[in-house]
Structure 1
Amino acid sequence: MLFYRGLKPALGWLFLFGLLGLMRCSVAAQLALNDDVMALNVEPVELDAHERQWIRDNPRVTVASVQYPLYLFQDEHGQWSGLNNDVLKRVTAMTGLKFMHQESFSTDHMLERLESGQADISTTLAMSDERKAFLDFSHAFGGAGWVFVGRAGAPSVESLEQLAKRVLVLPARHALEDVIRRDYPSIEIRSVKTYAEARALVESGEAYATIENEIGAQLYPLGLLKVGGLVEGKWEADHLAVRKGMPELLSILNKALEAFPAPELRAIRLKWLEGISLKPVPTLWQRMIEWGCWAAVILGVFGSLSLVWNRRLTVVIKQRRAAEKSLGDQLAFQHALIDSMPDPMFVRDLQGRLIMCNRSYEEALSVRQDQVQGRLLMEVDALPEATARMLHDEFMVQLRTRKSRFSKRQLLFKNGTREVYQWTVPFYSVDGKLRGLLGGWTDITQRRAESGCRCLH
């Protein structure tokens, strides 16, 4: 009797935590059904005659889209997905506008398409004075802060003042570049093509820090990098950027965003961004509450162990299967993401042997991964012997020096000499050990041919 009398409080705690878990499950189910509800219960936004006529004359809107996981990316089936794509779907249901994605490969490339009129809008551009010269921005529908990203072994970067007389690397035409050049002239700014190149330069020590959206900074394994503080006073609001000269489109988008139900917008953001944004440092009182909760859980589990042991084994097995499935889904997504990259990419080990490559690499060199995996460049009849030997020697030098390489050059392929933008960066394991090289190239010759460029060199 004494045992069961002492067991009652523990069972009460278990019932309470079970109830909380059931509430979380109901919220998750509601988020999962959100898309279906949106599709069924969408009221069209009220537009004036000029706006309705504009939609009839321009039924399709071209979106300059760059791969930005969680916000906007192509899934394993090549379909555009993400938070911003869900917002565009909702705008389509409210207005009848059709959005056609046109992939861009960097922020600079996206801005060029908008400036030249090849695209009408973008969903991932932050507002800046330079961009407002040729773009109009819709009402905001969310946002995130900017954070510093520096080397793990260096002091955490908490402010722009810390970067005085140091190298800050940013993707070309970054939203904060003009402000930093004006207000912090002592900071040496270095421009690169993408955020991946910026992170690589920070890892190698060639730059002291970079600045990223706080959501994007949490998406990649940090390795030799660590996230610092927020850039004070700088907020990256989520806007739809519209090229100048399209006031009707801007007005239609603003009306749709104004009519967007706040609960649905919150549900979409939770669907994609829950658990990704930076968490504030808990106070001592919050930690004490958390410790108290854990102590109550441990006592409850210990008191009722004799009654629920068999059921606990079943729960553990289910959790393990769910974790394995989640890991498998993550790996499948990563492989699909790499294969979706339009440029050839490869990974080589410390001896220069191929670990993996994407489909663009197979197509560019007319090989299959299962044929060339584990082999050196010279052991594969994919490149002229001299080219293969030269590239292999460069890889070995990079592995010894641990330096990244980004260069525009001419290379001799089987089908002739081509101008490429080549990049290779060392990559490391979680414990900081060098594991090999990650690299790829962009075929500039092919891009010019596809775009019909007749530039003189």
Structure 2
Amino acid sequence: MLFFRGFKPAVCWMFLLGALGFGQWVKAVQLATHESRESAAVARIELDAQERQWIAEHPMVIVASAQYPLYLFKDEHGHWSGLNNDVLNRISAMTGLRFVHEESFSTDQLLERLESGAADMSTTLAMNDERKVFLDFSHAFGGAGWVLVGLAGTPALQSLEQLSKRVLVLPARHALEGVIRRDYPAIELRSVKTYGEARALVESGEAYATIENEIGAQLYPSGRLKVGHAVEGKWEADHLTVRKGQPQLLSILNKALEAFPPAELRAMRLKWLNGIAPVHAPSAWQRITQWGCWSLFIVSLFGLLSLLWNRRLAALIKQRRDAEKDLNDQLAFQHALIDAMPDPMFVRDLEGRLIMCNKSYEERLSTRFDQVQGRQLIELDVLPKETAEQLHAEFMAQLGTHKTRFSERQLTFKDGVRDIYQWTVPFYSADGQLRGLLGGWSDIGKRTRQA
């Protein structure tokens, strides 16, 4: 009797944990049902006759896919997951396209499938001149920078100039390979199949550095590697890539991206790119192993150990949730703050490409951020050509002088000449490196009329 009396607390805790697990399972089922209902309620976009005919003739769109966490990867059940997969699922619900992934194991193999016509599109390719010869790129829907990755214990890598006469290892046909060969001939470039091989060569000392997407570089334990500075002026915009000769498919994808609710796209990016990885339920074998291990503990201490463990687990979960909430609140506040500014505001990088803007900027130039992100004024049709060329030249000159500029002037917009007060200010990184320009303008004529 004393034995069973001592075992009673353990049985109670096992029952409680089982009940909690069942509650979480019910909650997961409800969430999945809710998400499926939301997907079913997605409104279809309007397509023309040629686009509808193309979908009818192509019941499946073959997507050449290489695993690229957190953008696109296979989960423990072998199902494709990640940010880009969520985007494709949303586009599928909006258009009726059916996307089928075919796995590639290197960038080179992925490009070969697109060149040969074995695949129709991809989701993880960056844009460069070589690829634009045989590929079309959709509107951008996000992006990230490139970072230098070197060996721990060596000086932090700040620029490509530091790699002169050193070995830089990249996956074959990397997006930056052509630019580096052309602009930095002193760098000894070495090609391998995958990013994993490139990191291994840096760790072994056979190569001095490699270059990775800044998000992907943070996913792996540092070990003997160290993430350096961003490659200045090199921004990897997120595109859907389509093999040339399929204008209808490209048009359908662009229409879907244009109709994509901005709030939903921001939520997807926050879900995947802020370190929030999906939590998978443990398998049946893992649960049996856990209970088997726990049964080996002394029965008289099981209740106490379970109580301490659950208290600590609850504290860790609360701490993580609080941290995630604080981060989401900060991001929401930053977006709200810049969008609340009544005057147009923008941020441009060292090449004059747009990094950020507020709602007033979009309204004044009759455009959307996802259509102009990562592009220079001279590449767009939001201003008269002469005005765009004049402002771009001024931006580049100001980046050369590092001086601030405040001026009252007249500028020609699409709707006519305006009197404006314009300001542009260089901004710097924490280590004092120039990163771009922050600017905006006020409509003086409008202010005068209101006065």
When normalised by structure 2's length, the TM-score is: 0.55
Distance 1:177 1:32, change over 3 A: farther
Task: Kindly provide the amino acid, as one letter, of the partner of residue 167 in structure 1.
Answer: V
The residue aligned with 2:315 is 319
CA contact (8 A) 2:40 2:93 kept: no
The residue aligned with 1:132 is 132
The residue aligned with 2:255 is 255
Q: What's the offset of the Cα at 1:41?
A: 3.4
The residue aligned with 1:196 is 196
State, as a whole percentage, how many aligned pairs show the same letter. 73
Residue pairs, 1:8-27, within 5 angstroms:
none
The residue aligned with 1:409 is none
Give SS of 1:223's match. Answer: coil
Residue pairs, 1:71-220, within 5 angstroms:
71-220=71-220
Deviation string 1:40-66 (CA, Å, 9 cap, x unpaired) is 431111111110111011121000001
Cα distance in 1 for partners of 2:114, 2:309 equals: 57
Q: What's the offset of the Cα at 1:323?
A: 10
Deviation string 1:266-295 (CA, Å, 9 cap, x unpaired) is 111111111389xxxxxxxxxxxxxxxxxx
Give SS of 2:100's match. Answer: strand
Task: Kindly provide the amino acid, as one letter, of the partner of residue 116 in structure 2.
Answer: S
Distance 1:196 1:313, change over 3 A: closer
Deviation string 1:137-191 (CA, Å, 9 cap, x unpaired) is 0001111000000000110101011111111100000000000110111111000
Cα distance in 2 for partners of 1:321, 1:143 equals: 30
Deviation string 1:386-427 (CA, Å, 9 cap, x unpaired) is xxxxxxxxxxxxxxxxxxxxxxxxxxxxxxxxxxxxxxxxxx
Cα distance in 1 for partners of 2:192, 2:276 equals: 26
Give SS of 1:103's match. Answer: strand
Q: What's the offset of the Cα at 1:320?
A: 5.5
Q: What's the offset of the Cα at 1:104?
A: 0.4
The residue aligned with 1:246 is 246
Q: What's the offset of the Cα at 1:318?
A: 2.0
Task: Kindly provide the amino acid, as one letter, of the partner of residue 314 in structure 2.
Answer: K
Distance 1:107 1:77, change over 3 A: same
The residue aligned with 1:68 is 68
Distance 1:49 1:208, change over 3 A: same
CA contact (8 A) 1:164 1:187 kept: yes
Give SS of 1:168's match. Answer: strand
The residue aligned with 1:51 is 51
Task: Kindly provide the amino acid, as one letter, of the partner of residue 98 in structure 1.
Answer: R
Q: Does 1:225 align with 2:221?
A: no
Give SS of 1:140's match. Answer: coil
Q: What's the offset of the Cα at 1:208?
A: 0.7
Q: What's the offset of the Cα at 1:239?
A: 0.4
Task: Kindly provide the amino acid, as one letter, of the partner of residue 166 in structure 2.
Answer: R
Distance 1:222 1:276, change over 3 A: farther
Q: Does 1:275 align with 2:259?
A: no
Distance 1:317 1:77, change over 3 A: closer
The residue aligned with 1:285 is none
Paired residue total: 261
Q: What's the offset of the Cα at 1:317?
A: 5.0
Moved over 4 A (4+): 31-38, 311-315, 320-324
Cα distance in 2 for partners of 1:164, 1:96 equals: 50
Cα distance in 2 for partners of 1:142, 1:215 equals: 12
Distance 1:321 1:84, change over 3 A: closer
Task: Kindly provide the amino acid, as one letter, of the partner of residue 197 in structure 1.
Answer: E
Give SS of 1:124's match. Answer: coil
Cα distance in 1 for partners of 2:267, 2:314 equals: 27
CA contact (8 A) 1:143 1:236 kept: yes
Cα distance in 2 for partners of 1:85, 1:313 equals: 36
Task: Kindly provide the amino acid, as one letter, of the partner of residue 83 in structure 2.
Answer: L
CA contact (8 A) 1:219 1:276 kept: no
Q: What's the offset of the Cα at 1:70?
A: 1.4
Q: What's the offset of the Cα at 1:112?
A: 0.3
CA contact (8 A) 1:146 1:213 kept: yes
Cα distance in 2 for partners of 1:37, 1:131 equals: 39
Alignment RMSD (CA, Å): 2.5
Cα distance in 2 for partners of 1:35, 1:193 equals: 38
Q: What's the offset of the Cα at 1:78?
A: 1.2
Cα distance in 1 for partners of 2:32, 2:274 equals: 13
Q: What's the offset of the Cα at 1:313?
A: 10
Distance 1:225 1:108, change over 3 A: same
CA contact (8 A) 1:114 1:120 kept: yes
Cα distance in 2 for partners of 1:59, 1:323 equals: 47
Cα distance in 1 for partners of 2:72, 2:37 equals: 22
Extract unaligned runs of 5+ from structure 1: 1-30, 278-310, 325-457
Of 83-92 and 40-49, the range deviating more from structure 2: 40-49
CA contact (8 A) 1:215 1:276 kept: no
Cα distance in 1 for partners of 2:78, 2:254 equals: 29
